Structure formats: C-alpha cells, structure tokens
Structure 1
Amino acid sequence: MEQRAHFTQKLEELKLMVLRMAALAESAVHKATKAYLEGDADLAEEVIKGDTAINDLEDEIDKFNLELLALDQPMAVDLRTIVGTMRITVNLERLGDEAVNLSHRAMFLSSRPPLPFNPKMEKLADTAKGMLADSLKAFVDNDVRLAEQVCRTDDKADELTVQLLKEFINDMVTESRIVERGVHAIIGARHLERVGDLATNIAETVGFIVEGDSMKHNCRG
C-alpha cells in the first residue's frame, strides 16, 4: 500500500513537471504570435532566448520518466500515463521550436515595411492558440471530449492556412516588391498551422492516456 502511494505521488510530480513545461511552451507561442502580428523584435528575441528553459525541462522529464519505468514497472493506465507524457513533452518541445521559428519571421518582418493587414492571419493565430489551450486543459482534466474537439478544429486551421497561402501568392503576383516579405509571411502562417498540428497531437495523446485508444484516425470530424 505504501509503495502504491509513493508511486501515485511520483505520477503527480510528473504531471506537475509536464504542466510547468506546458506553461513555458504556451507562453512562448503567445509571445511569438504577438511579436509576429505586431512586428515586435524585442519580444521575438525574448522568445528565442527562453527556448533553452523548455529544452532543459524536456530533458528533466525524460530522465524522470525513464526512472519510473525502470524502478516501478507500471502497468495499465499508469504505463499509458508515463508513455503519454513522454509523447506530450516531445510535442511541447516542438511547440517551443515553432515559437522560435515564428519569432525569426517576426524579427525579419519587423525590419521591413508592414504588409497589408490580413484578418485571416489573426484568425489563424487565435485558432491555433485556442487549440493549444484546449489540448492542455484536456490533459489536466482527462477530458477526452474536449480532446476530440481539438482534433476536429485542426481542419479549420488547415483551411485558413490554405486561404492565406492563396491570398499571399495573389498579392505577390500583383506586387513584386512584396515577394520577399510575402514569403516570410507564408512561412509564418505555416508555423501557426504547426502549432495547431502539435496541439492536435497532444489531444490525441489524452485519448490514449484516458481510454487506451488511438484517436489519430477517428477523432477528426
């Protein structure tokens, strides 16, 4: 009984570590998005410098997980929790990378005349950030229904990205002077889409942890 209580405490510690990493990754995405939309080079630089903390936490969580697997030999939902958090931390690290990539686009665009405002870019950013927030809430609450909702929203993010791509290409054909900035804007939109993809990965992992089923092929509407 005492051993079980000790293991349960270890799992709680693990979840708290993942949530700390999630908070850092989500903050990086929010800052990078703001820097990109508003042309804030200083904020973009802050995101780039802060990525080391996310990477360090990933290493710490990986070590913690491996120790749990080696020492406690968990089964059933406990094993899924450990494997699932390993998957989630990989996606959180990649979210940090996407925030850094978006920040590099922000720094470039901030040094050039601004492109015409496109409301679809803000809509894509809001969609991606909303998906990330919901996927993390689903993880905290073990909420499979919310995780499924995140998966379905991914189609919306993909559609917005395609629309933006078409519009930027049309603009570049019409006005050759914006080609370089347009290319960076397209890449930025792709980074935002990737945030949605990674949030979807986290949501799918919630389904695996809670129910033991893969949501990859059946959660999208």
Structure 2
Amino acid sequence: MEQRAHFHKKLEELKMQVLRMAALSEKAVHSSIKAYLEYDSDLAEDVIMGDIEINDLENAIDRFNLELLALDQPMAKDLRGIVGAMRITMNLERLGDEAVNLAHRALFLSTRPPLPYNQKMEQLTEVSKRMLSSALKSFVEEDSKLAEQVCAMDNEADELSIKILKQYINDMVTETRIVERGVHAIMAARHLERVGDLATNVAETVIFIVEGENVKHRCRG
C-alpha cells in the first residue's frame, strides 16, 4: 500500500513537471505571436533564448519517465499516463520550436516596412492560442470532451492558413516589392497552423490517457 502511495506521488510530480513545461511553451507561443504582430525584436530574441529551458526540461521529464517505467512497472491508466506524458512533452518541445521559428520571422519583419494589414492572420493567432489553451486545460482537468473540441477546431486553423496564403500571393502579384516580406508572412502562418496541429496532438493524447482510446490522426474535424 505504501509503495503504491509513493508511486502515485511520483505520478503527481510527473504531471507537475509537464505542466511547468506546458506553461513555458505556451508563454513562448504567446510571446512570439506578440513579437510578430507588434514587430518587437527584443521580445523575439527573448523567445529564442528561452527555448533552452524548454529543451532542458524535456530531457529531465524523459529521464523521470524512464525511471518510472523501469522501476515501478505501471499498469493500465498509470501506464497510459506515463506514455501520454512522454507524447505531450514531445509536442510541447515542438511548440517551443514553432515559437522560435515565428520569432525569427518577427525579427526579420521588424527590420522592414509593415505589410498590409491581414485580418485573417490575426484570426489565426487567436484560433491557435485558443486551441493550445484548451488542449492544456483538458490535460490539467483530464477532460476528454474538451480535448475533442480542440480536435474539431483544427479545420478552422487549416482553412485560415490557406486563405492567408492566397491573400499574400495576390498581394505579391500586384506589389512585387513585398515579395520577400510576403514569403516570411506565409511561413509565419504555417508556424501558427503548426501550433494548432501540435495542440491537437496534445488533445489526442489526453483522450488516450482518459479513455484508453488511441485516436491519433483520427480526431481532427
């Protein structure tokens, strides 16, 4: 009985570590979006430098997970929780990478004249942030229904990304001087779409942890 209590205490510690990493990754995404929208080069630099902490925390969580698997031989939902934590941390690390990628676009564009206003880009930033926030909340609360809602939002992010691509291509055809900036903006939209994809991955993992159902690549739309 005491051994099980000790094991569940370690599971709680694991969840707290994942939540700490989630907070860092979400902050990086939000900061990179702000840097992009506001042409803030200092904030973009902060995002790039902060990625080291996210990477280090992923390594620490991986070691902790392997120790739990090797020493405690968990079963059923406990095992799903550990495997799920490994999947989620992998996606959190990738979220940090996408934040860095977006920060690099922000750095470049901060040295150039502003592009024409694109409402769809702001909409995509809001959808991406909402997806990520909901996915992380579903993990905290073990709420598979909320996770399913995140999956359903993925199509909206994809459609906005396509509309942004088409609009910037049209802008570049009519105004060739913005071609270089337009390419960076299209790539920025791609990074934001990837944030939505990674949030969906987290949501799929929450469904796996809670329901024991593997919906990987199947819960979208």
Could you tell me how far apart the structure 1 residues matched to 2:126 and 2:77 are? 33
TM-score (norm 1): 0.99
Instruction: Tell me the equivalent position of 1:28.
Output: 28
> What's the CA shift for 1:136?
0.3
Q: Is the 8 A contact 2:25 2:96 kept in 1?
A: yes
Q: Is the 8 A contact 2:115 2:181 kept in 1?
A: yes
> What's the CA shift for 1:217?
4.9
Could you tell me how far apart the structure 1 residues matched to 2:159 and 2:10 are? 42
Could you tell me how far apart the structure 1 residues matched to 2:120 and 2:41 are? 22
Q: Is the 8 A contact 2:95 2:195 kept in 1?
A: yes
> What's the CA shift for 1:218?
4.2
| Map 1:120-135 → 2, pairs under 5 A | 120-135=120-135
Could you tell me how far apart the structure 1 residues matched to 2:46 and 2:212 are? 39
Could you tell me how far apart the structure 2 residues matched to 1:173 and 1:215 are? 41
Amino acid at match of 1:137: K
Instruction: Tell me the equivalent position of 2:65.
Output: 65
Deviations 1:152-209 (A, max 9, x none): 1000000000000000000000100000000000000000000000000000000000
Instruction: Tell me the equivalent position of 1:7.
Output: 7
Could you tell me how far apart the structure 2 residues matched to 1:220 and 1:106 are? 29
Could you tell me how far apart the structure 2 residues matched to 1:201 and 1:220 are? 10
**Mapped pair 1:164 → 2:164:** yes
Could you tell me how far apart the structure 2 residues matched to 1:15 and 1:141 are? 11
**Mapped pair 1:82 → 2:45:** no
Amino acid at match of 1:104: H
Could you tell me how far apart the structure 2 residues matched to 1:21 and 1:47 are? 14
Could you tell me how far apart the structure 2 residues matched to 1:205 and 1:70 are? 22
Which segment is superposed worse, 55-64 or 208-217?
208-217
Instruction: Tell me the equivalent position of 1:188.
Output: 188
> What's the CA shift for 1:219?
2.4
> What's the CA shift for 1:106?
0.1
Query: How many pairs were matched up?
Result: 221
Q: Which runs of 5+ in 2 are unaligned?
A: none
Could you tell me how far apart the structure 1 residues matched to 2:84 and 2:107 are? 35
TM-score (norm 2): 0.99
> What's the CA shift for 1:220?
3.0
Other structure's SS at 1:152 match: helix
Amino acid at match of 1:41: S
> What's the CA shift for 1:215?
2.0
Q: Which runs of 5+ in 1 are unaligned?
A: none
**Overall identity of the aligned pairs, in %:** 73
> What's the CA shift for 1:216?
2.8
Amino acid at match of 2:184: H
Could you tell me how far apart the structure 2 residues matched to 1:179 and 1:196 are? 26
Could you tell me how far apart the structure 1 residues matched to 2:138 and 2:55 are? 23
Could you tell me how far apart the structure 1 residues matched to 2:36 and 2:112 are? 12
Instruction: Tell me the equivalent position of 2:137.
Output: 137
